[in-house]
Amino acid sequence: MTASQERIVPTDLSNEMSRSYLEYAMSVIVGRALPDARDGLKPVHRRILYAMYELGLTPDRPFRKCARVVGEVLGKYHPHGDTAVYDALVRMAQNFSMRDPLIDGHGNFGSVDNDPPAAMRYTECRLHRLTVNALLRDIESETVDFADNFDGSQQEPVVLPSRIPQLLLNGSSGIAVGMATNIPPHNLGELVDGLIALIENPEISIAELMHHVKAPDFPTGGQILGTSGIRDAYFTGRGSITMQGVAEIELIEQRGRPDREAIIVTELPYQTNKAALIEKIAELVNDKRIDGIADIRDESDRDGMRIVIELKRDAVARVVLNNLYKQTPLRTNFGANMLALVNGEPQLLDLKRFLEVFLDFRVEAITRRTQYELRKAQERDHILQGLLIALENLDAVIHLIRAAADTASAKQELMDSFGLSEVQADAILQMQLRRLTALEAEKITAEHEQLLAQITDLEDILARQERINAIIVEEASQIKSIHESPRRTEVLLQDGDLDERDLIANEAAVILLTEQGYIKRMPVSTFEAQNRATRGRAGAKIKDDDGVEHFLTCCDHDKVLFFSDRGLVYCLNAYKIPTASRTARGVPIVQMLPIPRDEKITSLVAVSEFTNDQFLVMLTRKGYIKKTPLDAFSNIRTNGLIAISLAEGDELRWVRLATSEDSVIVGSQQGMAIHFKVGDEQLRPLGRATRGVKSMKLRNNDQLISMDILPAQIAANIANSESEEEEESNEDLNGSEEIITEVTEGPWVLVVTSRGYGKRIPVHHFRLQKRAGIGLRSIRFRMAGDELVGLKIVYHDSELMLITNRGIIVRQAVSAISPQSRMATGVRLQRLDEDDAIAAIAIVPTSSESESETEM
């Protein structure tokens, strides 16, 4: 067998790979990527700070070139690339990366715009005062262990004797093999308060600790939304903390032009690149994914950050800001992963465990420092005891030393004659003659007594845990008093998730639904107000065999309830209905809702909020009416919900919102109208799967065409006048067209016919009746074949929108329509083509209305 063959060692490949990989992984975890839970530092940071301390770069000394420090670290402690060392040094000097920087930098150390720092030969550094006071003090008092460096030529500290929980103060981030850490920074004052609370009550809960350590405190300020992510991080070690920048809406002055609104960003979320943020906003504006932004400027200077986002005149500032939060890093999440090394092993720590690990380390450091000081005091006192013996026997000692042949024999004779130790004998032989004076003897005696008191105190510290705890509190409080700074990050109590509605302006909108099921949404502002009796503008591109069937005005934040002829209800957010131009057909509603082919939408209702004090009043084709509490429809399934039980051949046709104090007016095709109360015994609340009661008695060939709700305060003022109790059979159908000249703000009952005529009738002309009556006549038709198509409750400042079967829309003020009596024929509202007719009417919602009007 050859020599080369003798060196071959058979081994199992799987075991060898597993062992080698684990060794490599642990080397990365312990020696590079994860911080120590005691001082919160990774090896590279610890070596940089210790090397600077050895070089004497304290806060009271001049700055030194960073290249000098990097060379010292590389040569003595950290045999890696200079780039890694310099990058670590730079980060410890950046006030936007560290909550409390550990290094005081002089020169270009980068910026929040991700500008790189200057080369190490140009920049200078020294230790920050906090670093000396809180991390390096007592390092020479044997408080921590030292280990050999990479080549055994130097000794380096295994950990720094930190006096504060530095890991929580400045946080840490790192990626190891198979694990990572991401610890947020905190406020120094809050951490000290939490540490003191733990010392005073070791059984304190995490929830109680959070009264002191409220939340992370990021160096760049910003805001934290909600506390759920913070609680997760503090209780479990992992949590997603939602951060956002601080932005305000201001009115900026412009020379020669009207003032404009602008969004001013003054603080950014932690680790957000300002230049990249501005670039992202510009990209979204160019791609038309964010509307309403006219200009972006960065006006930041040495006094602070200021990003100006100038808005267009018609933009809604809050909506633009919400879109910025949603689509840009102006709002982001900090994924807390509280992983750190405890006794050389990676552990996921909660808030209390973090402080407990640090407290145990601090107790150990103070114990070791006390033992070191005790040993030094005892050694010094031992020498002083020898000096005192020599002073008491001064003549004999001098005679002995003069008679001795040499130093060695003198030392031995002193030890033998006076019972001294070798150390004491050496001290006597090295004593200067000036110390033989009476004054010096008194000083030695005083120092001996002082050392005896110090030794007694140090022994008491070692014997009593409460003394050690008191020292920890005292030293931490001292650092707090010197280095504490106000909290920069504000905690907002609401959750951080933006609702989709927050990204959309709550503008008035028009929703059209045709007979063949095409639906679209348009802003009401698309249609300008026109004079009465004009032709109008096209509102939809309608096929020859199609026509507008439902016409609804609402607000974009409303929920639209779609009621079908089968008595089912579906729900859709108004803003989810696609917007389209006036000439567009829209999209098939079957793409928006799961409606079967044999089912048809017969009524639309816009709801802003589901409450238990409102009802949905439903009316069927055969005249059955009922009311059901609105909150019964708050959770509508995707495939719909039963709204009413229908008789054979009947279908649900009209649905309106009302309260129990309101009243309802129902109109028929032949111009009859009945007015009765929604509440009382007339209309009792019923569940969803019920049919209802009879609403109105119809004549031959007549059918119901509309229903609307009269508000309670108005209905209460209507007297049951005996002067109008005559039945329809006794009314004068040939009466004159009386014009109402009384001045009133309304409300009125607006009636519109298919041929484009309409009028306003004072509501008190319709007395309250009992349900299921024949009602009163509301209009006298001007021409044969005309019929009533709409009946609405309107006010003096209301605006009306009419739409024809061919999609022509007119928007006009209600005040332009003449008030007339019930027997009048009305005035022309819209000029129609011969083959066209009014299909539906709707009332434009005003900004002051909390609930939008419903469709005709």
Catalytic residue set: 122
- Geometric angle at alpha carbon 512, from 506 and 515, rounded to 5°: 155
Cis amide prior to 747 (ω within 30 degrees): yes
Give the containing element (helix H, strand E) for 766.
Answer: none
What does the CA dihedral 352, 355, 359, 361 come to, rounded to 10 degrees?
120
Measured CA to CA, the distance from residue 732 to residue 191 in angstroms comes to 88
Beta bridge partners of 624: 694
Measured CA to CA, the distance from residue 216 to residue 170 in angstroms comes to 10
Residues 622 and 772: beta-carbon distance below 8 Å: no
CA distances from 556 to 501, 849, 855 (A): 8, 13, 15
Measured CA to CA, the distance from residue 51 to residue 155 in angstroms comes to 11
DSSP 439-505: HHHHHHHHHHHHHHHHHHHHHHHHH-HHHHHHHHHHHHHHHHHHH-----SEEESS-SPPPGGGGS-
Provide the token pair at 725.
Answer: 């109790």
Measured CA to CA, the distance from residue 28 to residue 603 in angstroms comes to 67
CA distances from 407 to 173, 400, 424 (A): 62, 11, 14
Burial environment of residue 6 by CB neighbours within 10 A (0 to 12, 13 to 18, 19 or more): exposed
| Strand pairing class (223-225; 238-244) | antiparallel
Which residue, 123, 110, 120, is CA-closest to 274?
110
CB-based contacts of 570, cutoff 8 Å, min separation 6: 561, 562, 564, 593, 594, 595, 636, 640, 641
Which residue, 679, 663, 760, 759, is CA-closest to 720?
663
Measured CA to CA, the distance from residue 509 to residue 62 in angstroms comes to 69
Provide the token pair at 43.
Answer: 């090896």
- Geometric angle at alpha carbon 197, from 192 and 199, rounded to 5°: 95
C-beta atoms surrounding 207 within 10 Å: 12
CB-based contacts of 105, cutoff 8 Å, min separation 6: 90, 93, 94, 123, 124, 125
Beta bridge partners of 838: 804
Measured CA to CA, the distance from residue 364 to residue 716 in angstroms comes to 82
Give the distance from CA 6 to its chain's centroid.
67
Question: 585-615: string of b/e by CB count within 10 Å (b at 16+)?
Answer: bbeebeebbebeeebebbbbbbbbeeeeebb
Measured CA to CA, the distance from residue 840 to residue 843 in angstroms comes to 11
| Residue in the block written with tokens 């909290």 | 487
| Strand pairing class (223-225; 490-492) | parallel
Beta bridge partners of 423: none
